[in-house]
Amino acid sequence: MSSMMSGLKGAISSMTHLVTGKLSKEFDAKDVVVVNQAESHFGAHLVGYLLHHKVKVRAACKSQEKADVLRHSFCGYAEAHDHLEIVVCADPCDAATCDAIMAGATYLMLTVSRNPGSFRGDAERDMVAPSLGGTRCLLESARKAGTVKRVCLISATYALGDATKAGQHFTADSWLNVTREEACKMTDVQHVFAACNALGEKEAWDWWRATGDKKPFQMSALLLSYIVGPELLPVGPRGANKFVVDALTGGDVHPLYGVGFVDARDVARAAAECLLDATCDGKRHVLEAGHYSYQDMYEWAKQVGDFQLNPAPSIATAKVRPYARLVVVLSLGRATRSSDADEVLAPLPFALASLASLCSFYIRRRQPPMEAANTYDSALTSFKIQYTPIEQSIKEMLKQVAVHQHHLKQQQQQQQQTGAATK
C-alpha cells in the first residue's frame, strides 16, 4: 500500500449516503429483522435502510469494538433510538448466543462467510469453521425460534465457480468445486473467501432441503459481485473499495478477472426486498451492475479533484499526443493515395508510417486487455432492481477517501511543524 494510504484510518461516516426510497411493500410494525455481520459494508447500509423505514433491527456484530462503532455511527439518527438493538456474536457457533439473537425474530439476513479481514493465517480456524458452523447454528436457532418467516442468504458470485477464470457462463446449478478439506489448507485469503462462500451457501441449502416438505421458513440467496460505494461507518477502504484505492494510489493491483461490480446500497435495497418477496423462495440471484476495468476507474478518479492519484503504470492509460495523431494521419494518407501496389515508399512517409506503428504498439501495451465478463443464466438474473451507476459509486467513495487524504496531510504537516519547533 502507498505511504499515503498506509496512514488512512477511515472514511467519513455520513448519513448523506443513507439508502432511501420506497419498498415494494412494508414490513409489519412488530417485525424484527436480524442482520448478522452488521458491521460489514453492505450490512451497515441495510441497517440504515431498514431504520429509514422504521423497521426494528437486531444488528449482530462480531466484537464489542465493532458494535460500538455501529452504535456511535447511528447515535445521531433519530430512528435508531427506538428501532435498533445491537448485540455481540463473538462466537458464531455458540448455540446459546444464536438462540438469543434469533428469539422473536421475523426475518434473517444471513451472510454465509466471514469477511476476508478475519483471516489471520489459519483458514480453518479463522474462516472455514466459523462460516460453516455459524451458518448452520443461526439456521437451527431460526427454526427453534418458530417466528421466522424468511431468510435471505448473502453469498458471492465466487460461489458459482473458479473466479480466476474470466468469461465463464453460470447457471443456478453452478458451484465452485471445492471441499472443506481443500479450503482448510488454503493460504491465499481471497481463495479462502471464495471457498467459504461456496461451502457456506451450500451448507445452508443442504440444511434447508433436509428439513423436509414442510419448511420452517422460506429461503433465498443473493450472490454479490465486487461491492463498492461510499461507507456509512468510519472505516478505511475495504473489500473491493480497497482494491480500487490501492490500484489508484500506488498499491497492489488485485486482478478483477470476470467479476463485475455492485453498489453496497443496492445490495441493501435488494436484501430488504428479497426478505419481503415470497417469489424469491428457493432461488439464487446474482447482483451485478456492470463489468469495468481499473482504467475506467482511473478516468473517473481524474474527475474527483481532491483525490490524490498515483496509479500503477499499467493503469495510467497513455494518451495519443497531437503530433502522434498527425503522424498517423499523414502515414495513412500517404498509403491510401498510392495506386501502385509495387511502389516503393519514399523515406519520409515510410518513417512516418513506422513511427505511427510504434505509437500504436506503445499505446496497446499501456492498456492491458480487459478480462472477459462472466455471464449468467436468466434464472440467476431474474431479480430486478434499479442499479446505481458504478461510476457514481466509485466517485462518491473516492470523495470520502479524498477527505481523509487531506486530513492525513494536515496531520503530517502539523507533526513536522511540531518536530521542527522542538529542535
Q: Using alpha carbons, select from 115, 108, 76 the residue that is nearest to residue 264.
A: 115
By residue count, the chain amounts to 423
Neighbour tally for 248: CB within 10 Å: 29
Which residues in 382-406 are b (16+ Cβ under 10 Å) and which e?
Answer: ebeeebbebeebbbbbbbbbbbbbe
Q: Which of 21-25, 205-209, 359-363, 414-418 has the highest mean pLDDT?
A: 205-209
Write the DSSP assignment of 249-317 as a string of letters: TTS-----TT--EEEHHHHHHHHHHHHH-GGGTT-EEEE--B---HHHHHHHHTTSTTS-----TTTS-
Taking residues 13-25, what's their average pLDDT?
78
pLDDT band at 100 (very low <50, low <70, confident <90, very high): very high
**Cell 447454528 maps to which residue?**
137
Is 319's pLDDT higher than 60?
Answer: no
Amino acid symbol at 371: E
pLDDT digits 0-9 by tens, 204-213: 999 999 999 9
Q: pLDDT > 70: what percent of the chain?
A: 83
- pLDDT score at 327: 30
Would you say 186 and 98 are in contact if contact means Cβ atoms under 8 Å apart?
A: no
- pLDDT score at 15: 62
pLDDT digits 0-9 by tens, 322-353: 333 333 333 333 333 333 333 333 454 445 44
Write the DSSP assignment of 119-151 as a string of letters: -SS-HIIIIIHHHHHHHHHHHHHHHHHS---EE
Distance CA(328)–CA(349), nearest Å, equals 10
pLDDT band at 355 (very low <50, low <70, confident <90, very high): low
- pLDDT score at 332: 35
Contacts of 185 (CB under 8 A, 6+ apart): 123
pLDDT band at 288 (very low <50, low <70, confident <90, very high): very high
Is 400's pLDDT higher than 50?
Answer: yes
Is 157's pLDDT higher than 50?
Answer: yes
Would you say 293 and 394 are in contact if contact means Cβ atoms under 8 Å apart?
A: no
Is 8's pLDDT higher than 70?
Answer: no
Q: Which of 93-107, 162-176, 248-262, 401-415 has the highest mean pLDDT?
A: 93-107
Greater pLDDT, 339 or 293: 293
- pLDDT score at 11: 38
pLDDT band at 18 (very low <50, low <70, confident <90, very high): confident
Is 318's pLDDT higher than 60?
Answer: no
Greater pLDDT, 283 or 256: 283
Greater pLDDT, 354 or 315: 315
- pLDDT score at 362: 40
**Range with the lowest mean pLDDT among 47-51, 249-253, 365-369?**
365-369
pLDDT band at 20 (very low <50, low <70, confident <90, very high): confident
CA of 29: how far to CAs of 42, 83, 193, in Å? 24, 10, 36
- pLDDT score at 298: 95
pLDDT band at 189 (very low <50, low <70, confident <90, very high): very high
**Cell 462466537 maps to which residue?**
91
What is the average pLDDT value for the chain, to the nearest integer?
85
Q: Using alpha carbons, select from 367, 360, 334, 370 the residue that is nearest to residue 349.
A: 334
Q: Which of 133-147, 337-351, 409-423 has the highest mean pLDDT?
A: 133-147
Q: pLDDT > 90: what percent of the chain?
A: 68
- pLDDT score at 186: 97
Greater pLDDT, 244 or 330: 244
